[in-house]
Amino acid sequence: MALTAGERTHRIRFERPVQETNDFGEVVGTGWELVVEVWAKRTNQLSATAEAVASGAQSYREQVRYDILPREIAPDWRIVERGKAYDIKSAGTSNDGSETAVIAVSGLNQG
Each residue's pLDDT expressed in tens, for the chain with a length of 111 residues: 677 778 898 999 999 999 999 999 898 999 999 999 999 999 886 665 556 566 666 566 789 999 999 999 999 999 999 999 999 999 999 999 899 999 999 876 554
Cα–Cα nearest to 7, from 101, 105, 90, 104:
101
Report which DSSP code applies to 74.
-
Cα–Cα nearest to 49, from 101, 87, 105, 110:
105
- Residue 2: the pLDDT is 73
Indicate the pairing of strand 62-68 with strand 27-45. Answer: antiparallel
User: Is the entire prediction scored with pTM above 0.85?
Assistant: no
The backbone torsions φ and ψ at residue 7, rounded to the nearest 5 degrees and listed phi first, read -85, -25
Superfamily covering domain 5-106: Bacteriophage SPP1 head-tail adaptor protein (2.40.10.270)
| Gap between the Cα atoms of 109 and 12, Å rounded | 19
